[in-house]
């Protein structure tokens, strides 16, 4: 039982150690580099669409949900950003 936990933890850690986002090759900004980055971006955009179109709530509630989801996405980018490709 403990061996399975170690394997799962290592796989998650290895996946997070790969850099999902990095500097764009063309243009300005950060873009997805791996399938995990593209998946995270897709989930983020779908969640914004769902909140905007289907959530029956006040503007303030929708705004707070969008702000929290955006903060979580930005945090994920910060954790998985390839800083070695960033030029100063």
Q: Give, in order, the Cα–Cα distances in Å from 40 to each of 24, 56, 58, 74, 75.
A: 17, 25, 27, 11, 12
pTM (2 d.p.): 0.72
Residue with tokens 């799962």: 8
Per-residue pLDDT of the chain (88 residues; tens, 9 = 90+): 556 565 555 455 555 567 999 988 888 989 999 999 999 999 999 999 999 888 898 999 999 999 999 999 999 999 999 887 655 4
Q: How far apart are alpha carbons 21 and 32 in whole angstroms?
A: 4
d(C-alpha 14, C-alpha 48), whole Å: 29
């Amino acid at each position: 039982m403990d061996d399975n936990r170690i394997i799962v933890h290592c796989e998650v850690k290895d996946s997070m150690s790969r850099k999902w986002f990095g500097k764009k090759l063309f243009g300005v900004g950060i873009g997805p580099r791996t399938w995990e980055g593209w998946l995270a971006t897709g989930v983020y955009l779908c969640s914004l669409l769902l909140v905007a179109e289907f959530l029956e709530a006040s503007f303030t509630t929708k705004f707070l949900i969008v702000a929290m989801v955006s903060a979580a996405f930005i945090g994920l980018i910060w954790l998985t950003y390839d800083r070695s490709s960033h030029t100063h």
